[in-house]
Amino acid sequence: MYVCNCNGIREREVRAAIDAGARKPAHIFAHAKCEAQCARCVCDMRRMIQDNRQAMALAAE
């Protein structure tokens, strides 16, 4: 499933970027070696980053 249709960034690529340390959408675009275009995917990327942050916090408890 694509998260970013403009750049063809798939969900698994976003997760890989987050696992590699991406903490904001700009980091995900950099990881994918592209730039935001329409930016409609940014909210989904932020949500995925936030979900990952919460999962990591729960795992640390």
Binding site for ligand FES (CB under 6 A): 4-7, 36-41
Closer to ligand FES at the Cβ: 34 or 52?
A: 34
> Which of 26, 30, 36 is CA-nearest to residue 5?
36
Q: Are 9 and 28 in contact (CB under 8 A)?
A: yes
Closer to ligand FES at the Cβ: 10 or 23?
A: 10
Closer to ligand FES at the Cβ: 2 or 61?
A: 2
Phi, psi of 2 (to 5 degrees): -85, 135
CB of 50 to ligand FES, least distance (A): 18
